[in-house]
Structure 1
Amino acid sequence: MCPVVSLADKAYFSIKNKILRGELQPGFPLREEHLSEMFSISRTPLRKALTQLLAEGFLIKGRDRTLRVPYITVSELQDTMKARKLLETAAAAEACKNCSNDDISRLEHIIDDEREAWLVHDNFVILTMDSLFHNFIAQTSKNKIYAEFVEILGYKAALYLALSNTLTDEINYALEEHKAILNAFKLGLPDKAADAMSSHIENVEKRIFDVIKKEKGRNLNFNF
């Protein structure tokens, strides 16, 4: 039996999808009356969806109280990646100690699904699978604080990847890095898992900055 999807959920995923696909650019105002008409839903479920997107950082509220897609500052990107590296390196080591064969199989399926999404250029699914990979590792660490904050930082990372257009050939590198983390899990080597995760996050940051440097002067999604 298929789960029931609420109107609020439909609006949430639809708006988030448009942001991650680049259809709603930074600075773009989201007005309730227009969105209500666009999705043919009342204000109550729409506001619930917008509140969730606001909490996750996919939207910000300006001084005029209008919701907009945020611009990303380079310093914010650096701070986020630094925090991710500290948290996820530790989480990967702990998860490697705790993981079962079923957990390893689950990670393999996530990587396969991410590759399939990359091959068909489905950015929304790519980012969903990427977040799922990192979140699942944090959950497997059995540390609830790791899991909570990795999920929060994952929202920001997904937005950075989408706004920097780092979802084309670069994803193939990310997939190989995910495989390296998985291989450390299979070998039962926590230190190697931590090193592989640390290297992966450093490389993600570098790839985003490489794109920003190339696009500087044309890239309107980042504030320098």
Structure 2
Amino acid sequence: MERRLIPVSLDNYKPLREIVFEALREAIINGTLEPGERLMEIQLAEEMGVSRTPVREAIRKLELEGFVVMVPRKGAYVAGLSMKDIADVFEIRTALESLAAGLAAERITEEELENLERLLVKIGECVQANDLDKLIEVDTEFHDVLFKATRNERLVQIISNLREQIQRFRTTSLASPGRMKYALEEHKKIVEAVSERNVELAQKLAAEHIENAENIMLNVLREKREGKGFKPAE
């Protein structure tokens, strides 16, 4: 059997299931595990030097985040990504996040603004430390605060329905070299517009932020497809 995954390192404070999850997620993002590929628990466990239990738990979490799909009576497969999938999700996300930023500029509380400022500091720390996993966590929290500030529960629910796809795209986009730093600057501008209650500017900046993420995502997929034989579904 050809070994593609390296054994996990236990020199880490994180639980084993988290280490395995992060390793599998990275393998999916970088194309080692390709879209449409079946994930065999025994094989993955052997390659990574662990038992099947943390692999099974990691696969379940990957399914929740949109990286894996479960096919009845067949098993787990790496979720496919097509250019149209990406365009469709980002088209919706651009409209929703632009609307959310505009509503937040009208309705956000001082406490929520202060929370956003604190999160900007945390994002900056993640960028300095080059800590992608923590950055994704804080970035997700940042957007959640903005969504809550809209005072529109229906809008929050609609955005939540896209969470799995958004999370996968967020991970791939932020992992691109240099993207973390630019994303931080985009976040700062959005917070400034929201704090100034500038609805139109907040909408514009939010739309640009998502469009930039989409361009990064599409470029990453093109590079993987052309450079590594990466073949997303068309």
Instruction: Give structure 1 stretches of 5+ with no counterpart.
Output: 1-9
SS in 2 for 1:22: helix
Q: Distance in 1 between matches of 2:216 and 2:149?
A: 27
Q: Deviations over 1:37-59 (max 9, x none)?
A: 9368599xx56x75554344221
Partner of 2:97: 88
Q: Deviations over 1:166-221 (max 9, x none)?
A: 43201211111111110011111122111111111111111222333344422526
Residue 31 of structure 1: how far off its partner (Å)? 4.2
SS in 1 for 2:67: coil
- Which consecutive segments of 4 or more residues in structure 1 shift more than 6 A? none
Instruction: Give structure 2 stretches of 5+ with no counterpart.
Output: 1-14
1:222 aligns with 2:232: yes
Partner of 2:202: 193
Residue 13 of structure 1: how far off its partner (Å)? 4.4
1:21 aligns with 2:26: yes
1:142–1:65: structure 2 CA closer, same or farther, 3 Å change rule? farther
1:124 aligns with 2:133: yes
Residue 87 of structure 1: how far off its partner (Å)? 1.2
SS in 2 for 1:38: coil
SS in 2 for 1:134: helix
Q: Distance in 2 between matches of 1:167 and 1:206?
A: 11
1:184–1:201: structure 2 CA closer, same or farther, 3 Å change rule? same
Residue 122 of structure 1: how far off its partner (Å)? 1.9
Question: 1:12 touches 1:50 (CA, 8 Å); kept in 2?
Answer: no
Q: Distance in 2 between matches of 1:163 and 1:69?
A: 15
Question: 1:166 touches 1:211 (CA, 8 Å); kept in 2?
Answer: no
Partner of 2:154: 145
Question: 1:166 touches 1:208 (CA, 8 Å); kept in 2?
Answer: no
Question: 1:54 touches 1:60 (CA, 8 Å); kept in 2?
Answer: yes
Residue 84 of structure 1: how far off its partner (Å)? 0.4
1:82–1:42: structure 2 CA closer, same or farther, 3 Å change rule? closer
1:205–1:84: structure 2 CA closer, same or farther, 3 Å change rule? same
Q: 1:159 aligns with which of 153, 157, 168?
A: 168
Give me the TM-score of the superposition, normalised by structure 2. 0.75
1:54 aligns with 2:66: no
Residue 108 of structure 1: how far off its partner (Å)? 1.7
Question: 1:22 touches 1:162 (CA, 8 Å); kept in 2?
Answer: no
1:99–1:163: structure 2 CA closer, same or farther, 3 Å change rule? closer
1:112 aligns with 2:117: no
Count the aligned residue pairs: 212
